[in-house]
Amino acid sequence: MSSEISVFAPAKINLFLEITGKKENGYHTLETLFAKLAIGDDIKISAQKAPKTNIELKVRGPFGAGLKGDKTNLAYKAAATFFDYFKINAECKIRLEKNIPLGSGLGAGSSDAAAVLLALCNLFNIELNSKRFKDLVALGTKLGADVPVFLYQETFCKAQGIGEILTPLKSKIKSPYIIVAYPGESSDTATAYSRLSINSKEKILTQASNLNKLIYSIESGSPLNCYAELMYNKLEDSVLAYKRSVAELKQQMISAGAKNALMSGSGASVFALLDDQDKAKEIVKEISTAHRTVFLTHFWRT
């Protein structure tokens, strides 16, 4: 008999993102602080052992139309990678409710992949001891640089290197109200990095110090006004210069009162943190248009 479980794949924002260098193979090194959100995609997955592996993925939801349910989908790739690694033949059905826009800088595709890996471990009673979890993180890394962070249960996670060095954080903060707005068009990660000028060593050191202060504030439970000014995204220098819809969205959010508005990842979404729920609702109303998608949410599990 096939078992079925439902899992949630949380979206993320980057509270901090500095590009520290570029390797000979073309990959950029970075320091970033991920924060998971209480918005995301919903997944139902069933699987049972079979003579040979067959994966069926169906995608629906508000943003399902732009995503194929084939081998190019990260959720499908995650299932195929899982069965290959653990040498399991199975009949697997995945139903993906796509609630997060594609190319939004919110990491939903990576989160989908991680959710599938964790769900399949559950369905096939694979105990995630320390060694096996490391193996799962390695599998996630092969699927995408942002996949491993979603395998961790912690809300906040620091990433270094090319994103493969992860440090989950313990947090005592009370979640502020978080506005997340997508301008209606995606931002290409490769283009964002190709147009990037890396900061001087002195500025990178200054930003590293600010990141440490930001992490301390989150771990110690400091109020929003103690850490909001430390948030930073180097990729804004690249993306805002040529992506007018993102630049206009950020400026409109700031003008409406979201003074700490910041782009997430390589875009295209912009977010802001607020203590005042009524003010957050006002800003949501002011920036909402027919072609934008706007969420009012909070940090996941805080």
User: Which residues carry out catalysis?
Assistant: 12, 146
Q: What is the pLDDT of residue 203?
A: 96
* Domain range summary for the chain, segments of one domain joined by +: 3-169, 177-297
What is the reported pTM? Answer: 0.95
Residue 1 scores a pLDDT above 50: no
Q: What is the pLDDT of residue 25?
A: 86
Fold of domain 177-297: Alpha-Beta Plaits (3.30.70)
Residues 92-117: tens digit of each pLDDT: 999 999 999 999 999 999 999 999 99
CATH code for the structural domain at 3-169: 3.30.230.10
Percent of the chain with pLDDT over 90: 94
26 pLDDT above the threshold of 90:
no
| Mean residue pLDDT across the chain | 95
pLDDT at res. 2? 58
DSSP for the chain, written as a single string: --EEEEEEEEEEEEEEEEEEEE-TTSPEEEEEEEEEEEEEEEEEEEEEE-SS-EEEEEEESTTGGGS-SSTTSHHHHHHHHHHHHTT--EEEEEEEE--S-TTSSS-HHHHHHHHHHHHHHHHTT----HHHHHHHHHHHHHH-TTTGGGGS--SEEEEETTTTEEEEE---PPP-EEEEEE-SS---HHHHHHT--PPPHHHHHHHHHHHHHHHHHHHHT--HHHHGGG-EETTHHHHHHH-HHHHHHHHHHHHTT-TT-EE-TTSS-EEEEES-HHHHHHHHHHH--TT-EEEEE-BTT-
- Over residues 267-289, the mean pLDDT reads 98
pLDDT (tens digit per residue) in 185-199: 999 999 999 999 999
**pLDDT (tens digit per residue) in 146-188:** 999 999 999 999 999 988 899 999 998 999 999 999 999 999 9
